[in-house]
Amino acid sequence: MAGERKVVKIFGTDDELADGLAKYTVDLSRKFVHQRSAFTVVLSGGYLIDKLRKLVDPPYACEVDWSKWHIFWVDERVVRKTDPDSNYKLAYDGFLSKVPIPPAQIYAINDNLDASGAADDYETRLKELVKSGVVEISPQTKFPRFDLMLLGMGPDGHLASLFPHHPLLKENKRWVTFITNSPKPPPVRITFTFPVIDASAYIAMVVAGSGEVDAVKKALEPENSTDLLPVQMVKLENGEFTWFLDKLAASKLQDFN
Ligand SMILES: O=C(O)[C@H](O)[C@@H](O)[C@H](O)[C@H](O)COP(=O)(O)O
């Protein structure tokens, strides 16, 4: 069935959220490995990685065929992989170093290139992975269709490095582009574009704590406003968008309190 299915899950504690996210990811891993013998997973930076902490331990870790996983980044800071600002480093230290995903299936950006070069290089590598059948392609839009994006959102409603009112919100040709004036430091990043995000099969948007409470309220219970947050601009063509919230992040939602 085409279109977007929206799901909201609210957890009482941080540990319950981490358990819920681990179970959801295990179920999708099983589904895609069975269906296509590969599972393409896109990560963001931020505290998302901490929320994946349960996935690396039993019972979840043993239920996953890690050899079929392929890891990508929805956005990455243009810094060395060893830099504390690197999303690769954050994910490696907190998640990837603890599970047996083949290193050749972890697609970090080329940190020898500048922002424009790194975006071009990442897009070229994605095109090769589409050709070899690892990454699917959307039959409708011809943008890459990832199996699962595990994402975070900022207090201003940004996702990936797509910030409010920025011209990159309108990018509709490139798969991967770059930004040199990100309002969230560091300023130079590469990012997937909206058409790639919109082509996803599943997105988990993970928000916990009080920092994003107003953005969550605006995204889930919008009042008439033409000034949309970036997260409100996501329109999955044929996919499921699930919010993973804790009690604090959901505390302003009328329908859920
Ligand atoms: O590089 C980045 O800045 C992240 O990838 C970004 O997309 C992140 O997911 C959001 O900014 C939310 O970040 P927090 O989880 O820290 O709020």
Which residues form the pocket of ligand 1, taking CB atoms under 6 Å from any ligand atom? 44-48, 75, 77, 87, 152-154, 158, 160, 184
Residue ranges per structural domain of the chain: 3-240
What are the tokens at 49?
């990685």
What is the domain class of 3-240 according to CATH?
Answer: alpha beta
pTM of the model: 0.97
CA of residue 33 to ligand 1 center, whole Å: 28
41-50 pLDDT, tens digit per residue, is: 999 999 999 9
Could you tell me the distance, in angstroms and rounded to a whole number, from the CA of residue 34 to the centre of ligand 1?
31
Nearest CA to ligand 1 atom 11: 154
Nearest ligand 1 atom, CA 159: 7
User: pLDDT tens, 192-207?
Assistant: 999 999 999 999 999 9
Question: How many whole angstroms separate alpha carbon 12 and alpha carbon 223?
Answer: 26
- Residue-wise pLDDT tens digits, 143-170: 999 999 999 999 999 999 999 999 999 9
pLDDT of residue 256: 79
Of 69, 72, 88, which Cα lies nearest the Cα of 80? 88
**Residue 187: predicted pLDDT:** 98
Residue nearest to atom 15 of ligand 1 (CA): 46
Gap from CA of 226 to ligand 1 centroid (Å): 24
Rounded distance from Cα 194 to ligand 1 centre (Å): 16
Closest Cα to atom 4 of ligand 1: 45
CA 196 / ligand 1 centre spacing (Å): 18
What share of the chain in percent tops pLDDT 90? 96
CB–CB of 249/216 below 8 Å?
yes
Query: Which two structure tokens, joined as six digits, stand for 56?
Result: 């690396």
Q: What is the pLDDT of residue 226?
A: 84
Where residue 209 falls among pLDDT bands split at 50, 70, 90?
very high
**Cα separations (Å) of 16 from 37, 52, 222?**
29, 12, 27
Reply yes or no on whether the pLDDT at 112 is more than 70: yes
Give the pLDDT confidence score for residue 196 in this predicted structure: 98
The conformational region for residue 129 under phi > 0 = left, psi -120 to 50 = alpha, else beta, is: alpha
Specify the pLDDT at position 2: 75
Mutation pick for ligand 1 pocket among 156, 184, 192 (CB with most ligand atoms within 8 Å): 184
